Amino acid sequence: MSEFTERDHFWMQHAIRLAEAAALQEEVPVGAVLVTNDEMLGEGFNRPISESDPSAHAEIVAIRQGAKKISNYRILDSTLYVTLEPCIMCVGAIVHARVKRLVFGAYDAKAGAVGSAFQVLDTNKLNHRVEYAGGLLAHNCGQLLSEFFRARREKCKIS
């Protein structure tokens, strides 16, 4: 049996649509949705280039929006859906926000901090534990990224 529910699929589909929006703005296509009680608190896509902000990853954008919405820097009982395995910075933000559960799509062999390149959430040194599961709609999430990078390489060849 899959560890993912029908609602997990629903929210990840939404994150994928956000990732597509990032690609249209020539940002690396990653999308994130923050959910509590099956309601969306925040959403975001990757936009460090357009914002000139190295911290403007999809996860951080969604967490900022969610925290603002509830006027609380801790977002208890929430699930964060993101199309790509989070990096070290985003895992840090997820822990600071006290997100309860993290669900991600594609694995990131180079920078993923939830098992691929680093195992940040498996340490016993953090004072907050985040449940996590990866690989949901991984093919769709990953394909967006590979298509994006392939198109960018093509563009470089032409110009």
- Judged by CB, which is closer to Zn ion: 90, or 120? 90
The question of whether 20 is a catalytic residue gets the answer no
C-alpha to C-alpha distance for 39 and 32, rounded to whole angstroms: 14
* Main-chain phi, psi angles of 19, to 5 degrees: -60, -40
Q: How far is the CB of 150 from Zn ion (least distance, A)?
A: 22
Residue owning tokens 């029908």: 6
- Enumerate binding residues for Zn ion (CB under 5 A): 57, 87, 89-90
Instruction: Provide, rounded to whole angstroms, the least separation between the CB of residue 134 and Zn ion.
Output: 14
Q: What are phi and psi of 29, to 5 degrees?
A: -75, 95
- The active-site residue out of 6, 59, 147, 154 is 59
Q: Which is nearer to Zn ion, 11 or 45 (CB)?
A: 45
Q: What is the DSSP letter of 18?
A: H
Which residues are part of the catalytic machinery? 59
